Homo-oligomer: A and B are copies of this chain.
Amino acid sequence: MPSTYRAILIFFVTTLISASSLTLAQAPSHPLDALKSQEYWVVYDVLRDSGKMDPDTFYASVLLHEPAKGKVLAWRPGDAVFREAEIILLRKGIAIEALVDIPAHKLEFWKERKDIQAPVLEMEFHALEEVIKKDPRVIEALKKRGITDLTHVECFAGPFGYFALPELEGRRIFYGGCNDTHGEFLGWGRSIEGLNIEIDAVEKKVLKVIDDGPTPVPTASINFEEVESGPREGATPIGLSQPLGPAFKISNGEVNWQSWNFRFRLDPRIGAVINLARFNDGHQLRSVLYEGSLSELFVPYMDPAEGWATRVFIDTGEFYHGGVLKPLRENIDCPTTATYFGTLVPDEHGAPGIRPRVACMFESYSGDPSWRHFEKHELWGSPARTLVLRTAAVIGNYDYVLDWRFERDGSIHVAVGATGIIETKSVKAKDASATGGHGMPGSPDEFGHFVAENTIGVNHDHFFSYRLDVDVDGVNNSFMAGRLVKRALTKPASRKSIWVVEPFIAKTEKDAMIDIHLEKPAMWHFINPNTKGPLGYPTGYELMPGVTAASLLDPEDGPQKVGAFSAHQLWVTPYRQDERFAAGIYPTDSKGADDGLAIWSKANRPIENTDIVAWYTLGFHHAPRAEDWPVMPVMWHEFVLRPFDFFPKNPMLDLPSTP
């Protein structure tokens, strides 16, 4: 780095506001704060002192139990902060639900649940790997493959994201396999194919070793930091500069930036949770979003082979032990000007561990205008800038960069950048040249695509459910579809057709289950029928879908029953305090019959002029390409919440004309 550039960078860095202590303050200042360190310890003490714990009982999950919305909205600074934690424990395969009132140091609820499976504990992964690697059948199977040095063999077993087989009933059975990392720094791409292991996660016992016969482990180059001699020449340094520091302020957990006010917490299960997003219209703080967060993530693979058909991940609901968010790295994930935030996650004994730098906040400026008009030799306009709250969820191989982007026009862009490493299958064929192209039945790439020699990137989907508790100008809202409908004209002679907007107010949940069709376009409005703007329209926000996908799976397919939210791009439900996870609280080995968006919605509850919640499905099919290997370029998808008659005019007219 040239010294001039470094000097400037240092200058920028020293002007940063340090706000990394936000989430780690000792006492909660607001009912929606993330659980504090001392609160985790209260939970621990209450459960210990209850006499119900024993050395075989482990913590699978400790989450803030969100208070009912009414209580939060009635709360004022200075009031007592009501705090509850919801806990999932795992004892010898049995899940236990508990609820602790933290200020009262009181165990409010305790229930053993034999009908569900707790999410996976990190300790289970480690323990099961040891068991697998010591099993004589596994050792024999590896030997058949010429692998006798097990030092660098990594084995993994995880649960099904759906109820697949009768033998799972009431048991905690995991399925897994192994990779050979010999010669590599990561084992992805080095699967020991055809070796499938069924294991009892409670008994810590391998039940079955299904060996479909050896397939050599690929040897194609995968160490992504080493495959090129780089760094490539020719790039001069580039950065964002904010000599006077960022323009956002954080006070008592509340972010204030350019008319936007909101809170956020970093939840171990669902990551960043935005709360109480309000926009100052110059006169008052007006409510837009009571809460917004990722709710679930459904990733089914599309290969019917043994060991692959069961690769269906309900990522946030199954694999969040240790926290779904992983650290961000400055200059790679966020610019130099970013401020970072840490969070706490409980370990298997309930003790909070610190996870520094799992979120960053920065103002982004990419050189674009926010509005402009040229006429009469003059140009009017102003440059755009954005406030980004970024986290990264890492679930094994995949990395998801998760953004909440606040814009000065009152819109919120929610973006997902998918990167990381695709899951691959080892095959005997070196490449596609013998079979002439993908998709041919019986060819090695029938269910995926060669991304390296002997390596198939397997087809799969990603479906994110975002839960958006919109409260436009208050709690009671309605969902209105603005349907664009073709109308035939008989006059004037110059035209035969136009389209008009036909508003449709959804009465019940079924009215608002929406699939996107280009030939039947509709705008999705969340309006407050009780608050009219100056032109006589209800104030509202529009949810604008981005590029997305619908699930192609059979509705009766096990995975699809659990990830049923992927059947529609939009759902609207009445607010319920306990309806937070689109695939249910316990997706592991789930039959999809008891909990989740598709189940709740069956009641077809009224949603008009009441407190409603929108659920947006952001999805994409992924048929891999060579360029996705050995690590994927970021692929972004997004959707937008934008004001629609919320303001009486463009709210950006008072922005400065310089960035």
Contact = CB atoms under 8 A, between A and B. Distances in A.
A8 interface: yes
B332 A379 contact: yes
Number of copies of this chain in the oligomer? 2
B650 A629 contact: yes
A56 interface: no
A244 B234 CA distance: 11
Given A231-B655, A439-B503, A370 B627 contact: no
A349 interface: no
Contacts of A642: 627
A501 B388 contact: no
| Shortest 9 CB-CB contacts between residues of A and residues of B | A230-B654, A433-B536, A335-B367, A228-B654, A432-B536, A164-B494, A231-B656, A497-B554, A241-B241
Given A327-B374, A536-B431, A645-B626, A659 B335 contact: yes
Contacts of A338: 367
A332 B552 contact: no
A548 interface: yes
A238 B537 contact: no
Interface in A388-447: 388, 392, 394, 399, 401, 409-411, 417, 419-421, 431-439, 446-447
A310 to B, nearest CB: 5
A629 B419 CA distance: 39
A483 B410 CA distance: 38
Given A247-B235, A380-B631, A623 B482 contact: yes
A648 interface: yes
A556 B484 CA distance: 19
Contacts of A363: 238
Interface in A240-259: 240-247, 258-259
A535 B438 CA distance: 11
Nearest to A658: B331
Contacts of A334: 367
A364 B367 CA distance: 7
Nearest to A527: B437
A392 B374 contact: yes
Given A234-B247, A244-B2, A633-B650, A553 B497 contact: yes
A369 B632 contact: no
A80 interface: no
A77 interface: no
A240 B241 contact: yes
B421 A240 contact: no
A232 B335 CA distance: 25
Contacts of A633: 370-371, 409, 411, 650, 652
Interface residues of A, number: 182
A534 interface: yes
A333 B369 contact: yes
A411 to B, nearest CB: 8
Contacts of A521: 549, 552, 621
Contacts of A494: 160, 164-165, 309-310, 558
Contacts of A373: 224, 394, 399, 419-421, 631
A237 B364 contact: no
B329 A552 contact: no
Interface string A470-503: 0000000000001011101101111111111111
Nearest to A367: B335
A558 B417 CA distance: 43
A230 B656 contact: yes
Contacts of A437: 503, 536-538
B246 A234 contact: no
Contacts of A501: 438-439, 449, 459, 623
Give the one of A365, A410, A411, A417 with max B CB within 10 A.
A365
19 contacts: A4-B243, A4-B244, A186-B376, A232-B258, A234-B247, A235-B258, A235-B655, A238-B247, A238-B363, A239-B365, A239-B659, A333-B379, A335-B366, A375-B394, A409-B633, A453-B535, A459-B499, A542-B625, A626-B645
Contact of A239 (B240, B449, B482, B547): B240
Contacts of A450: 535-537
A569 to B, nearest CB: 8
Contacts of A453: 535
Nearest to A415: B368
A498 B242 CA distance: 50
A634 B369 contact: yes
A80 B658 CA distance: 46
A10 interface: no
A246 B534 CA distance: 48
Contacts of A225: 380, 653
Given A433-B536, A634-B368, A237 B651 contact: no
Nearest to A438: B501
Contacts of A164: 493-495
A197 to B, nearest CB: 15
B380 A557 contact: no
Contacts of A644: 625-627
Interface stretch (A43-51, A67-75, A299-307): A299-307
Contacts of A335: 365-367, 383, 659
A517 B651 CA distance: 35
A559 interface: yes
B634 A371 contact: yes
A237 to B, nearest CB: 6
B236 A649 contact: no
A578 interface: no
